[in-house]
Structure 1
Amino acid sequence: MSDDNANNSPASRLKGLIAKRKGLGSRKTLLVLGPVVLVLAVALGYPLYLRIMTHESTDDAFVEAHVVSMSPRVAGHVAEVPVHDNQWVEKGDLLVQVDQRTFQVALDVAKARLQSADAAMQEAEAEVSAARSLVAQRNAALSSNRSELAQARAGVDEYAAGHSRDENDFKRMDEMVEAGAVSRQEYDHARAQAAVSKAKLLSARKKIDTQSAQIRQAVASAQAAEDELLQAQAVVDKRRAEANEAEAQVRQAELDLSYTRITAPCAGFVTKKSVEPGAYVQVGQQLLSVVGRDVWVVANFKETQISGMRPGQPVDIEVDAYPDVVFKGRVDSIQRGTGSRFTLLPPENATGNFIKVVQRVPVKIVLDRRNGGNGYLLAPGMSVIPDVDLADRPGHDGLAAADPGRATAMQ
């Protein structure tokens, strides 16, 4: 009876009422805060979900730049190295000077040989000129002999006609002198005239023989002069070839002398210098490198990440060296081939057991500001994490305006 009274006491009823009100308050708080928490979760999670769905990132990415390895084209002792590590140099600045004395002597010897070859060629050309003059002289003599032969042949015809006339006259006189129709004096005159014309005819024929012999001799002399001219021209050709060879040797010696000066092919920073004055360097030996100022990023994305990637898409770049800085860039190009395809020994999947491995595709990313801007040092090999915004999809029109060749390749 006492327990029932205790439970029905005012204090007990007050405690029960308070407990009931606390339960109702908790349920009301849950009913009010539940939707608020859900809305906040959706508001905060949806952008994160969208970013995950519209962005691709990788930690297999590094800074790249133009790195030119400098090596000598000629062997020799180093006379001077006017640069030091990490020094900025302009295009054409002297990096390494190889001792020039040996190459200068070789150039002087080559020039002397060229002068000697030129003198020999001039002498041979003079001999050709003399041979040409002799050929012209011999040809002129041959022409003169032929003209004299033609005149002699004409004289033979004339003397033959005169001798035929005088012989006929003498025969008539011989018949008439027996009949007493002409005097003895006229007969003797006719006989003498026939003998004279015969002698002239014989002399003309002898002259023809003489002129023919002279022509044969002149032809032989002219041929000999032609042969001498050909020989002189052959000597000139030989001397000209020797002169050309000597000139080529001079140019080669000049090139070797110029190669003793190793200059910067582009502006950049001297890096990894491994040469000092007095050292003997060989052809092709790496002496130092020149790193250009312009840098970019090469990111090796998985092949499953590049389906929505296009040139021109914006990229947020985080550099491990500057964790609180975000660099801005854009996708420049996507390599036509995976990284493994261009290794020294590409995998041959047609033989042996095949295990599928997700391949990596290099993507070139350029920075919006040169070298990152704001004085931050970005050097080749530094690790970065690029984040590509796939939601930004540049059209072919804009891409064509920037780079028509690339737009054609993307179509």
Structure 2
Amino acid sequence: MKKYAGLILIGLISFVFLVYAVKWIKHRMDYAVSDAVFVKAEQMATLSFQVSGKVVEINKDLGDWVEKGEVLAKIEPEDYRLQVDALESKINSLRAQKEALQAQINRMSKELRLNLENSVLASQELLKKEEALLAQMGDLEAQIELLRKDRERLKDLLDKGLISKRRYEEVDTNYLAMLERKKALQKSIEELRLAYKRSLVGVDMAKVSLSRIAELEKQVEALKHEIMALEKQKENALRNLEYTHLEAPFSGYIAKRFINVGDVVRAGQPAFSLINPETLYVEVLLEETKLKGIKKGNKAYVRLDAYPDIVFEGEVQEISPASAATFALAPRDVSAGEFTKVVQRIPVKIKLKDKDKDMLRVGMGGRVEIKRE
């Protein structure tokens, strides 16, 4: 009797084990199961100041909720503000110099161009006067030549006693007067020529003065470029002044604070870690041997170690086109021919229902079962 009871017990145990084994195998066929589960966030950032300085104010601490654009902390802005003020002062000074030079150029340009025009007109008038005197000189020389011939003829007649001395003296007096008039006319022509040369010097001086305007315009252009360069520096200085306020790039919770009031921080030094809970998801590093039947949209059931009695429902949102090892900082070197086969893991992103996200924390681990098609 005891023998039969033992056989029955063994049979029942074997049956139970067989049923369990069948269910386990069927479950593994219907689901891809993995323990490589991690809670992550799409919007998770380590924030830092972009300038160096002493921390003078901290507005948020670990676990605090912050809105996008809210100021988390400040560093001493005085040095950056002084830099902006100094650049602003220098820019204003150079602008004043540029405006003064431009006003001088406008005034000189008007005066010098007027002087040049007057000098040119004066020289042209002198040339016309010279032409008129030369024409008079020609007429005078013709008259002198006639009087000379009359004088010689009358002199011959006087010597022969055919005319009176008075008649000869009248012609001789006219002849001598014409010669004096010619001398005066020649002197006037020489004076006009000298005045013309002086007028040409005036024209050249006016042109030289106009060339000074070009030099002043070069100075204005140099000041313009210097002002533009300083304005670029001012933009950078204003940006650095803004960077003394560390603002949240998105809404979320403070996951960690790395700084304290009074700390002297460097540009790029971590200050806060910020996580947006609305972007939490579960990443599964699924073995390549379990990928069969896993597609986007498949149902997934997650048990986290922190909540072993709760099953979180979700679905497959993305399946990475490459293994996790592909992007490792130190990839395996198989160029020497040494190779040990290792099962690769493919990152699979699972989106959970929104109602479950409040319980999640970045870094949690657990177990996942993904329904195969």
Shorter-chain TM-score bucket reads 0.7 to 0.9
Instruction: Report the CA distance between 1:186 and its aligned residue.
Output: 4.7
- Of structures 1 and 2, the one scoring higher in RCO (CA 8 A, sep 6+) is 2
Instruction: Report the CA distance between 1:288 and its aligned residue.
Output: 1.4
Q: Which residue of structure 2 aligns with residue 387 of structure 1? A: 369
Contact 1:149–1:212 under 8 Å retained in 2: no
Q: Which of these residues, 331, 335, 359, is aligned with residue 350 of structure 1?
A: 335
Contact 1:72–1:259 under 8 Å retained in 2: yes
For residues 260-311 of structure 1, give each alpha carbon's deviation from its aligned partner in whole angstroms, at most 9, with x where no partner exists. Answer: 2111111010111122222222222212111112111222222333365443
Contact 1:152–1:208 under 8 Å retained in 2: no
Instruction: Report the CA distance between 1:68 and its aligned residue.
Output: 1.2
Matches within 5 A, 1:112-123: 112-123=89-100
Q: Which residue of structure 2 aligns with residue 58 of structure 1? A: 34
Q: Which residue of structure 1 aligns with residue 248 of structure 2? A: 264
Instruction: Report the CA distance between 1:96 and its aligned residue.
Output: 0.8
Q: Which of these residues, 109, 112, 118, is aligned with residue 132 of structure 1?
A: 109
Contact 2:120–2:199 under 8 Å retained in 1: no
Cα 1:162–1:258 shift into 2, 3 Å: same
Contact 1:177–1:187 under 8 Å retained in 2: no
State the identity %.
23
Instruction: Report the CA distance between 1:235 and its aligned residue.
Output: 2.5
Q: Which residue of structure 2 aligns with residue 319 of structure 1? A: 304
The answer to whether residue 315 in structure 2 is matched with residue 335 in structure 1 is no
The answer to whether residue 271 in structure 2 is matched with residue 287 in structure 1 is yes
Read off the aligned partner of 1:377 and give its amino acid letter. Answer: M
For residues 189-218 of structure 1, give each alpha carbon's deviation from its aligned partner in whole angstroms, at most 9, with x where no partner exists. Answer: 356346535642552354134313321342
Cα 1:376–1:210 shift into 2, 3 Å: closer
Cα 1:127–1:304 shift into 2, 3 Å: farther
| Cα distance in 2, alignment partners of residues 92 and 331 from structure 1 | 33
Q: Which residue of structure 1 aligns with residue 5 of structure 2? A: none
| Cα distance in 1, alignment partners of residues 358 and 306 from structure 2 | 10
* Unmatched 5+ stretches in structure 1: 1-36, 392-411
Read off the aligned partner of 2:223 and give its amino acid letter. Answer: R
What's the TM-score once normalised by structure 2's chain length? 0.79
| Cα distance in 1, alignment partners of residues 144 and 232 from structure 2 | 81
| Cα distance in 1, alignment partners of residues 181 and 97 from structure 2 | 62
Matches within 5 A, 1:293-312: 293=277, 294-306=279-291, 308-312=293-297
Q: Which residue of structure 1 aligns with residue 259 of structure 2? A: 275
| Cα distance in 2, alignment partners of residues 175 and 390 from structure 1 | 146
Q: Which residue of structure 2 aligns with residue 69 of structure 1? A: 46
Cα 1:48–1:339 shift into 2, 3 Å: closer
Contact 1:71–1:285 under 8 Å retained in 2: yes
Instruction: Report the CA distance between 1:350 and its aligned residue.
Output: 1.8
Matches within 5 A, 1:102-117: 102-117=79-94
My pick for the range that moved more, 230-239 or 174-183, is 174-183
| Cα distance in 1, alignment partners of residues 321 and 195 from structure 2 | 92
Cα 1:338–1:172 shift into 2, 3 Å: farther
Matches within 5 A, 1:399-410: none
My pick for the range that moved more, 69-78 or 196-205, is 196-205
Matches within 5 A, 1:3-402: 45=22, 49=26, 52-65=28-41, 66-174=43-151, 176-177=153-154, 183-184=167-168, 185-186=170-171, 188-189=173-174, 192-193=177-178, 195-197=180-182, 199-201=184-186, 203-219=188-204, 221-293=205-277, 294-306=279-291, 308-367=293-352, 369-370=353-354, 373-374=355-356, 376-391=358-373
| Cα distance in 1, alignment partners of residues 294 and 141 from structure 2 | 118
Helix, strand or coil for the counterpart of 2:102? helix
Helix, strand or coil for the counterpart of 1:357? coil
| Cα distance in 2, alignment partners of residues 364 and 132 from structure 1 | 75
Cα 1:188–1:272 shift into 2, 3 Å: same
Instruction: Report the CA distance between 1:67 and its aligned residue.
Output: 1.5
Instruction: Report the CA distance between 1:352 and its aligned residue.
Output: 4.7
Contact 1:131–1:228 under 8 Å retained in 2: no
Instruction: Report the CA distance between 1:174 and its aligned residue.
Output: 4.2
* Unmatched 5+ stretches in structure 2: 1-14
Contact 2:77–2:241 under 8 Å retained in 1: yes
Cα 1:205–1:350 shift into 2, 3 Å: same
| Cα distance in 2, alignment partners of residues 356 and 149 from structure 1 | 108
Helix, strand or coil for the counterpart of 2:240? helix
What's the TM-score once normalised by structure 1's chain length? 0.73
My pick for the range that moved more, 129-138 or 286-295, is 129-138
Read off the aligned partner of 2:36 and give its amino acid letter. Answer: D
Instruction: Report the CA distance between 1:69 and its aligned residue.
Output: 0.8
> In angstroms, what is the RMSD of aligned CA positions?
3.3
| Cα distance in 2, alignment partners of residues 308 and 187 from structure 1 | 142
| Cα distance in 1, alignment partners of residues 309 and 137 from structure 2 | 128
Helix, strand or coil for the counterpart of 2:290? coil
| Cα distance in 1, alignment partners of residues 317 and 128 from structure 2 | 95
Contact 1:54–1:389 under 8 Å retained in 2: yes
Instruction: Report the CA distance between 1:47 and its aligned residue.
Output: 10
Contact 1:103–1:257 under 8 Å retained in 2: yes
Read off the aligned partner of 1:52 and give its amino acid letter. Answer: R
